[in-house]
Structure 1
Amino acid sequence: LSATVISETKLLYVIIALGFLGKILVEKLLRCCPGVENLYLLVRQKRGKDIYTRMEEIFDDPVFSRLKEEVPKFRHKVVVVPADCEAAGLGLTLTDRQMLTEKVNIIFHSAATVKFDEHLRAALVTNVMAPLHLLRLARDLKKLDVLMHISTAYSNSHLPLIEERFYPCEADCEQLHQMVDKLTDDQLNSMLPKILGPWPNTYTFTKALAEKELRASAGGMPIGIFRPAIVISTAQEPLKGWLDNMYGPTGVAVG
């Protein structure tokens, strides 16, 4: 959905699971898309800070400076929802879940662990189970237009050519979880090359597995997979050269 389509066609109630790209998306929707009635941001309490403190810190980021100048009253559109995307049921209260199922029609999922060497146990929870938890919520929405999952262009990096289609992944999610529950970290590490197969690391492997599981579980639901390549700093908008981490080429350049 382009910003023009979102702005001109309908009033939208959007739920976003935050991440680096999530910040950019929030800024763009609030600044450029007046058709967005509300953004429901799923935020987890972290390091002893409640969700409202965390949101204040997020909106203090320079990436929102232009938004504050052009749309100073944007905050009335933002609804912060305490949640944990890695927990069953997203950790939502019954009241919050009912509110979301009644109102929301678009879901963006951009949160992920992007560490290439993340332990398989953690990568499975964050990169596979979290989007599946959101899919279960999406299934209950009364007027779902789309669930858009942000994957990566490298989810099938072992292939010589990657097209805009789904690819097979032989790994079985249920079997993997049974294995993870039974084995120690050392045992999992020793078996990792066999588990990953042609995938070079746990990041690309779990991203590919998430795509497979979403497709298998979606049925007739409207879902989309977006595969960005290497994420670097902004070029021009909303400000030049913004980045909130030092991963990838930016970290190499700074280092």
Structure 2
Amino acid sequence: MRPDEIEALRDAGGRRTRRQWLVVALVTVLVALVPVGIYVVTGNLDHLLGNSEEVTARVERVETDGSCRGRPVDRLDVEVSWTVDGTSGHGSYSRCDERLAVGDSVQVWVAPNGTMSPESPTELRSGLLVGSVLLALAGAGSGAAMILMNRGRRRRLLAARTAPLGPPVRVRVKQLGRGRATVRLVDPAPGVVDPRPSAVPVIHFRPGRRPGTMTTFGILGEWWLHVAPIGDPRRQHGVLVRGDERLWVEFRLPPRKRQ
């Protein structure tokens, strides 16, 4: 491995990793705000802020609208009407946890613009909070896992930086998805072992550009592959060369069969 590549790998594990953590934090905050944003755009902001009024409404119609997902109960489509300060209104909602009949009384919340919600502001805020927390945990967990896995790959590549590389083999790279790529021999020859089909890019060096990590952009096409000896029974490193362009990859080896 060239000295500039070693330096770039170490830099990617320092300042770049800190920037990646900042991006994960920003994305986590934005994802956590999605439920609130959707409700603000499509729902009733006055009700969310607690500016709605609780009223007693009369059930005018009850119809079965399929079943509730994951629960052995029917989903009810309920239409209600109410009167507030001499002004009548009506609305409908769907619920799974109620047994209602025409003429029953239910509590609903009516906003100043006349829109109705069957949930109190407190219930609504609690539901949005739970949704936001779950989305934030999912976003943060996914981002953290990606950063940690890529940091582990860079550390393993640095540990193997002095390993000798084999002779060049002509290969074609195709994108597989989820940060992986397929590597196939262009002209298989007798006695030449086909490289591992699935490779994870570790760091990409291109003339005039900063080294890239965590990306499969611009790697498709034909390359010359130099494979390092197998030092880890589960992984093997190699470098793809195309002119002045170099892409270090990590192959995941299949488990050995027990004798």
Alignment TM-score, normalising by the size of structure 1: 0.22
Task: Answer 1 or 2: higher relative contact order, Cα 8 Å, separation at least 6.
Answer: 1
Q: Which has the larger radius of gyration?
A: 2
